[in-house]
Amino acid sequence: MTSITSFPATRLALLATSAAICVANVYYAQPLLDLIAADLGLGRAAAGGIVTATQLGSALALLFVVPLGDRFDRKRLMLAQLAALALALAGICAAQRIGSLLGAMLLAGLLGTAMTQGLIASVAAAARAHERGRVVGAVQGGVVLGLLAARVVAGGIADLAGWRAVYALSAVLTVLLAALLWRALPAVPAPARPLPYRQLIGSMVTLLRTDRVLRTRGTIALLMFAVFNIFWSALVLELAGPPHALPHTAIGAFGLVGMIGALGALRAGRLADRGHGERTTGAALLLLCAAWLPLAFTPASLLALAAGIIALDLAVQALHVTNQSLILHGAAGAHSRLIGCYMLFYAVGSGAGALAATAAHAAGGWRLVCLLGAGVSAAALLFWRATVRLPAAAPSADGCRGV
């Protein structure tokens, strides 16, 4: 497997922008559900299935598609995925029935997720060890921007030209990306002896069982993304009611404040490259706990809310990039599978956090949400403190690390 000398700023910017455009496809539908339902004559239950189909596609990608990067030439694989993604987006534009729309949405979620995580795995595999954190942080920063901007961009375009225009524009951008990435994607050829597909997927279970770094960092990810979704899932419930009673557009704008979290991703990657991954983790977890103090004052102050969002997103993105840098260190040949396994922790934490948030808000309002978020944040800090002293095992030849 080859590695390139460096990632110039222009190439990194293109790769980060590509990650933003790809991941946005997973989230465009959320603010458009009412428009889609009205256009196709759908009820609320059927409209909710659109988001479910997209998220199901994301889960399938992590389990069955992202690991393919450890079997095939990554550059060719991602270019093929981009072509398929453009077709899926065109299918969404043309859909006139719920069945065809759900199928196209599932593919968009699958391929958008596969491309996003494939980009991270590709740059991690191609980068030299001393710059891996920096390049992973830059691409992850693009993911953050895409996640947060998707809802705002989709709503703005839909207001001007309808919901189908959102996916038509995304399809055009995807085709343009394929042309640009033809040269910009790093060359990471297929392994000389690739595992058969069944063994490749089965080896993810082995990684989860034997790789202590993956398990430890995955658990931290599960807890921190539970915290992240506890906040964001409950925020709309809080701001839409008294005393603020904000419109959904204003509530969505608070997501843009979280873009500052991309700065945390960039800085954390550089610190991980210098061997400060554990110190960065400790500082980020402390910040995650502290963020709930200003967030607790949300009913009385939107300024306190903004300050808490900045702290929360900085902490989460710093942890996310540090986690990825550490699990990918010394794991030649298994980058895609490790990313897929790691993101499964993310998916579980996100889902659990969203469910817990709505239940907590219904039972005890914003105060209970903040207590829950602070408690899970403290649990993550304590878990890290209990495991950080364990000696790290040396990587083995197949990229697995010991228990």
Q: What is the pLDDT of residues 83-125, one digit of tens each?
A: 999 999 999 999 999 999 999 999 999 999 999 999 998 888 8
- 149 with 24: CB under 8 angstroms? yes
Does residue 196 have a cis peptide bond before it, meaning omega lies within 30 degrees of 0?
A: no
- CA 127 and chain centroid, separation: 21
Q: What is the dihedral of CA 197, 203, 205, 208, to 10 degrees?
A: -140
Look at residue 260 and tell me whether its pLDDT is greater than 80.
Answer: no
Between CA 18 and CA 174 the distance in angstroms is: 9
In the structure, what pLDDT confidence band is assigned to residue 397 with cuts at 50, 70 and 90? very low
pLDDT at position 3, please?
A: 47
| Residue located via tokens 């989230």 | 27
Q: In 10 A of CB 118, how many CB atoms?
A: 29
Between the CA of residue 377 and those of 104, 129, 229, 271, what are the distances in Å?
37, 30, 12, 22
pLDDT at position 394, please?
A: 40
In the structure, what pLDDT confidence band is assigned to residue 300 with cuts at 50, 70 and 90? very high
Q: Is the dihedral of CA 229, 233, 234, 240 positive or negative?
A: positive
pTM over 0.85: no
Provide mean pLDDT across the span 212-220: 94
Q: Mean of the per-residue pLDDT values for the chain? A: 86
pLDDT at position 398, please?
A: 43
| Residue located via tokens 């239940």 | 359
Between CA 307 and CA 4 the distance in angstroms is: 39
Look at residue 403 and tell me whether its pLDDT is greater than 50.
Answer: no
Percent of the chain having pLDDT more than 70? Answer: 91
Structure tokens belonging to residue 70: 């450890």
Between CA 354 and CA 178 the distance in angstroms is: 34
| Residue located via tokens 């001393």 | 130
pLDDT at position 44, please?
A: 62
- pLDDT single digits (tens) 303-352: 999 999 999 989 998 899 899 888 987 666 788 899 999 989 988 888 88
pLDDT at position 93, please?
A: 95
Residues contacting 226, CB < 8 A, separation 6+? 349, 350, 352, 353, 356, 376
pLDDT at position 101, please?
A: 94
pLDDT at position 401, please?
A: 52
Look at residue 20 and tell me whether its pLDDT is greater than 80.
Answer: yes
Look at residue 389 and tell me whether its pLDDT is greater than 70.
Answer: no
Bigger pLDDT: 99 or 191? 99
pLDDT at position 252, please?
A: 67
SS3 content of the chain, % helix, strand, coil (to 5): 80, 0, 20
In the structure, what pLDDT confidence band is assigned to residue 45 with cuts at 50, 70 and 90? low
Residues contacting 49, CB < 8 A, separation 6+? 98, 102
Between CA 81 and CA 65 the distance in angstroms is: 10
Between CA 400 and CA 403 the distance in angstroms is: 10
Structure tokens belonging to residue 122: 């590709």
pLDDT at position 330, please?
A: 63
Provide mean pLDDT across the span 121-143: 83
> Angle formed by the axes of helices 335-387 and 98-126, to 10°?
70
Between CA 356 and CA 229 the distance in angstroms is: 9
Which domains are seen in the chain, by residue range?
1-194 (1.20.1250.20), 195-403 (1.20.1250.20)
Between CA 396 and CA 81 the distance in angstroms is: 31
In the structure, what pLDDT confidence band is assigned to residue 393 with cuts at 50, 70 and 90? very low
